[in-house]
Amino acid sequence: MKDALLITPPFTQLNTPYPATAYLKGFLNTQNIDIYQMDLGIEVILELFSKKKIQDFFEIAFKTDSIVSENCQRIYALKNRYYQTIDPIISFLQEKNKTLSRLICSENFLPRASRFQQLEDLEWAFGSMGNQDKAKHLATLYLEDISDFIIECIDDNFGFSRYAESIGQSANSFDELYTKLSLELSYIDRISIDILKTKIDKTKPKLICFSVPFPGNLFSAFRCAQFIKKQYPKIKIAMGGGFPNTELRDLKDIRVFEFFDYITLDDGELPIELLISNTQQPTPANDDYNKFKRTLLLKEGAVYYNNLSTKQDYKQNSVGTPDYSDLLLDKYISVIEIANPMHSLWSDGRWNKLTMAHGCYWGKCSFCDISLDYVRIYEPVAAKILVDRIEELTDQTGETGFHFVDEAAPPALMKAVALEILSRNLTITWWTNIRFEKSFTKDLCLLLKQSGCIAISGGLEVASDRLLKLIDKGVTVEQVAQVTNNFTNAGVMVHSYLMYGYPTQTILETVNSLEMVRQLFKIGSIQSGFWHQFSLTTHSPIGKNPEEYGITPLYNTIKFANNDVNFKDKTGIKHEKFSQGLKASIFNYMHNIGFDLPLNDWFDFNLPKTTTPPNYIEKCIQVDNKLYTKPNAQIIWLGETPISELFTKSKKGNSWPMIKLTIHTPENSNQIMLEAPKGLWLLALLDKISTKKNTKKHKFSEIKTDFENKFEDFELFWYSKPLQKLKGLGLLTL
């Protein structure tokens, strides 16, 4: 018997678990609380996309005459090919049958329906040697064809990473969801319930907690809770996660509590510990009896916010390491939806997920939910603890890939983590989300790359300095160009979140923003991006003070979800008309084509000409090599120990001792020549500041003082050609 069962309901990601339950299990381990976790979504997917179930729903579709479109008729006609290939394809996408890639890439193995009509030039996209990625892409299209059949003929609410999402999106009223829950179970509902029942009977929990991160998980969570209430009435049921945190803070509809006993808000560690305490010992003898933390429940016929516990939330350094045990880590499915290396990070491969810091260190962006605790309360984790967790998770999962899921990872902490990784001689791969701020210098980006950083994502939002100031983003377009260029030159992929339709944004500002983005892609400073239309949320500064931004919110009566708000913009511009053109342009830019097309060609209506100079971004990234270093700057050496060779140099009858230092890098070998005394001093310095030795900070001012105790003209030495060459080989200033 388990103290609790934690569930992620269908559907989130195919390739890796959503981390919320693993975070909670890791914390509960520190409290000696025994729980079980499951990702119901991946278990349903694996059952649905099996030979047995495909045979089953093809037969159902035929018997119910639901095969109408030409596409689904073709899929059904090829049903035997699907029966033959589905299990091997799933195995291949689970990295268990890699030799199948060549067969998948052949033209007559996979049955092909409408998804293959949009097939890109795979030779161009993946190259002649990219069989694994090419095969994954083809296998993904194959699954999407089957998904189209399921949506048309079996269950129109299905989606690989969401289920009945439209019902959960900004549902100010509970009526639609409540009505749908009264209907007969769908085909996918029945699969979910069968798997859930087996797990409940196995674990026998007193409490079941659903983590609901997105609207696309909401209906399934309610459907599962409905089943539990009916079949296991003694089990208490709770909901937490991103959706209730942002959407259900103003909940008033008591019908929700026909399904759930508790809804917790914000950080889940203490709330869930108190729920477990109350289900284990629901009597006044328990000091925590009826004392909860940020928990909605039903009391005297109304929704009641119980925050009676005086216990303080746990600090991030003490919540433990996420625990992925119980989850089917070897059965997740890696897919490649489009031929873009950055996008594949979200869907391809299994990533251990960690957080460098709770909340956002900036916490000012006007479109963001900065009033909510998950953003507002900033609390970084110590670098040593983070790298301890990296090592623990590597041992536990066997995976060395890490996705830091921060709102915006702090540069200083990223530096400290990178140095700690290098000092422990760890080999990992990682990526995260950042702000494009000036702290990301050329040398810091090189350090991050050396520690295993392969990609970063960040919000450029609107490429307009006026609007960036209005957003209170704290960056300029010039700064973004420089930072993205620093990352790209260090070999780190860059993805940019882009926004249009921000309050007061003009048509010309949208055109100029697109031109900035075109230039960033053309010079290679960013490799991936995504446009989304501005959305007003009630918890953001704009939502709280709309008049300051020239908009008028169109509020509805709130009884259920409350986050996204419709509004009128005083400009009167219908920004949605830009959607297709912006998406089409960036799709082409990501594939390094279309740069020379006039911006107007991406749209089916006329636009004003851009006023952005054609070389604006190029000028932004021109480097001004100032011969100045801040006294408190940290100096580190990333390279191997140089091989030294003493020799004597003679000229016009004079001779003096010299030293040749040979620095071997993975790519090549390089030499620098120095006067022997200074060269030996430098050799000792490199050993002292090597990242392989320790993470102790060695300041530029201290190094200068040490040099001047022995020699003269430090600046002349430090900015000399041999030292400049050394800086290109791993001598970094941070």
> Can you give the pLDDT at residue 129?
45
Per-residue model confidence as pLDDT tens digits over 537-547: 999 999 999 99
How many Å apart are CA 98 and CA 96, to the nearest integer? 6
Per-residue model confidence as pLDDT tens digits over 449-460: 999 999 999 999
Q: Cβ–Cβ contacts within 10 Å for residue 654, how many?
A: 7
Question: Residue 674: is its pLDDT beyond 70?
Answer: yes
Assigned token pair, 379: 């609390």
Question: Residue 168: is its pLDDT beyond 80?
Answer: no
How many Å apart are CA 342 and CA 551, to the nearest integer? 35
Residue 154: name the closest of 46, 72, 41, 44 by CA.
72
> Can you give the pLDDT at residue 561?
87
Please state whether the peptide bond connecting residue 11 to the residue before it is cis, i.e. omega within 30 degrees of 0: yes
Question: Residue 122: is its pLDDT beyond 60?
Answer: no
> Can you give the pLDDT at residue 125?
56
Strands 429-434 and 401-404: parallel
Instruction: Give the pLDDT mean for 519-537.
Output: 94
Q: How many helices (H) and strands (E) does the chain have?
A: 29, 25
Q: What angle do CA 343, 346, 348 make, to 5 degrees?
A: 90
Contacts of 512 (CB under 8 A, 6+ apart): 463, 464, 610, 611, 612
Give 644's pLDDT tier (boundaries 50, 70, 90).
Answer: very high
Report the SS3 class of residue 322. coil
Give 123's pLDDT tier (boundaries 50, 70, 90).
Answer: low
Please give the residue that has the higher pLDDT: either 276 or 126.
276
**pTM assigned to the model:** 0.93
How many Å apart are CA 82 and CA 64, to the nearest integer? 20
Give 124's pLDDT tier (boundaries 50, 70, 90).
Answer: low
Give 319's pLDDT tier (boundaries 50, 70, 90).
Answer: very high
How many Å apart are CA 725 and CA 43, to the nearest integer? 55
Q: What's the helix, strand, coil split of the chain in %, to 5?
A: 45, 15, 40
Query: Could you tell me if 263 and 295 are in contact, meaning their C-beta atoms sit under 8 angstroms apart?
Result: yes
How many Å apart are CA 551 and CA 367, to the nearest integer? 13
Query: Could you tell me if 645 and 660 are in contact, meaning their C-beta atoms sit under 8 angstroms apart?
Result: yes
Beta bridge partners of 297: 304
Residue pointed to by tokens 């196995």: 202
How many Å apart are CA 26 and CA 393, to the nearest integer? 11
Please give the residue that has the higher pLDDT: either 163 or 589.
589
Give 346's pLDDT tier (boundaries 50, 70, 90).
Answer: confident
Query: Could you tell me if 236 and 259 are in contact, meaning their C-beta atoms sit under 8 angstroms apart?
Result: no
Give 447's pLDDT tier (boundaries 50, 70, 90).
Answer: very high
Question: Residue 695: is its pLDDT beyond 70?
Answer: no
CA count, 13 A, side-chain hemisphere, 74: 12
Question: Residue 723: is its pLDDT beyond 60?
Answer: yes
Helices 187-203 and 40-48 cross at an angle (nearest 10°) of 130
Assigned token pair, 168: 């959960």
Provide, rounded to the nearest whole percent, the portion of the chain with pLDDT above 70. Answer: 97
Report the SS3 class of residue 402. strand
Mind spelling out the 3-state secondary structure of 425-492? CCCCEEEEEECCCCCCCHHHHHHHHHCCEEEEEEEEECCCHHHHHHHCCCCCHHHHHHHHHHHHHCCC
Per-residue model confidence as pLDDT tens digits over 47-101: 999 999 999 999 999 999 999 999 999 999 999 999 999 999 999 999 998 899 9
Question: Which range, of 157-166, 398-407, 571-580, averages the lowest pLDDT?
Answer: 157-166
* Residue 682 Cα to chain centre, angstroms: 41
Question: Residue 348: is its pLDDT beyond 90?
Answer: no
Query: Could you tell me if 558 and 252 are in contact, meaning their C-beta atoms sit under 8 angstroms apart?
Result: yes
699: exposed, middle or buried (C-beta count within 10 Å: 0-12, 13-18, 19+)? middle
Please give the residue that has the higher pLDDT: either 192 or 622.
192
Q: Where does 154-214 have alpha helices with state H?
A: 165-168, 175-181, 187-203
Q: Where does 232-356 have alpha helices with state H?
A: 242-247, 269-280, 344-347
Instruction: Give the pLDDT mean for 296-320.
Output: 97
Per-residue model confidence as pLDDT tens digits over 457-500: 999 999 999 999 999 999 999 999 999 999 999 999 999 999 99
Provide, rounded to the nearest whole percent, the portion of the chain with pLDDT above 90. Answer: 86
Q: Is the dihedral of CA 504, 509, 513, 514 positive or negative?
A: positive
Please tell me the total number of residues recorded for the chain in this structure.
734
Provide the mean pLDDT of the chain: 93
Q: Is the dihedral of CA 590, 592, 593, 599 positive or negative?
A: positive
Give 127's pLDDT tier (boundaries 50, 70, 90).
Answer: low
Per-residue model confidence as pLDDT tens digits over 574-623: 999 999 999 999 989 998 899 999 999 999 999 999 999 999 999 999 87
Residue 734: name the closest of 425, 507, 411, 363 by CA.
411
Helix (H) or strand (E) holding 421: helix 411-423
